[in-house]
Chains A and B, each alone.
Chain A
């Protein structure tokens, strides 16, 4: 019964969607704003990856909000799971040698890969979020492979905080010294397609990368804790 009603409702909604999608033909999008970013993004931000320039410069404020959302989730998840958390000693069966060694071996490599991704965010696809996620997955590997190993909570908290503070600090610096706008790209743009270009973008992405990495790792950490 519920399914029939649900399907009926969804059909009505689908009808509306079809009506409106007639007006948005696939493949020929209305790119007034987007086209300007493509045309002038290189000069205005100095990033080769236009998506990055949009994410961090044109719509940098969104990204600030976005890292805040992740921060909220990490903090909130901690708050939800931390209440009456029992600090019981767990019997941890140690992983097999092969697994352990493999994890130890892979861990820095994955970290490095993640770091590469977020440092080169303004040049190649990828950036702070993707890199951060990869960094976090390195930690997941450690949690799963090398049982009992934990990142230090204070350390990850400090990284989180610092990442956020750097983002805001750069934004405020833009407001105070640079172009008198919050988050304005006040550093020299450099030469296109080189590592040291695009002004504040790489710095922001590195901050985001660390922040996202530690937050996602923290999320997994909190969830895994006392689950065994």
Chain B
């Protein structure tokens, strides 16, 4: 039944990605992208890649999101 869980995660991840596509508020989009990264890191864990999962969680999800947020703070928040 692992596969059901995985499929749900994948679905959630794709939904988050689509959300990142749709959101006009860049902040929300970034959070959605962060979700994508986080779920991806869980998927990495399921794929027996703990090293990658750690890297994705710490770099891909955390640091990148921070950098995005800083960048948005310094520019503008809404996509017109």
- A interface residues, Cβ below 8 angstroms from B: 49, 51-52, 117, 125-127, 129-130, 133-134, 136-137, 140, 216, 219-220, 223-224, 227
Given contacts A52-B51, A133-B55, A137-B63, 12 further A-B contacts (CB under 8 A): A51-B49, A117-B54, A130-B55, A134-B58, A137-B66, A140-B63, A216-B59, A216-B63, A219-B67, A220-B70, A223-B71, A227-B73
Q: What is the bound-complex CA distance between A137 and B66, given in angstroms? A: 9
Taking a contact as CB atoms under 8 Å apart, the answer to whether B70 and A51 are in contact is no
Residues from chain A with Cβ under 8 Å of B55 in the complex: 129-130, 133
With most chain B CB atoms within 10 A of its CB, the pick from A133, A134, A136, A137 is A133
Q: What DSSP secondary structure best describes chain B's contact surface?
A: helix
Also in contact, A223 and B58, with CB within 8 A (given A127-B51, A137-B63): no
A-B contact count (CB 8 A): 48
Taking a contact as CB atoms under 8 Å apart, the answer to whether A140 and B66 are in contact is yes
Instruction: Find the B residue at minimum CB distance from A50.
Output: B51
Shortest C-beta distance, B19 to chain A (Å), equals: 17
- B interface residues, Cβ below 8 angstroms from A: 49-51, 53-55, 58-59, 62-63, 66-67, 70-71, 73-74
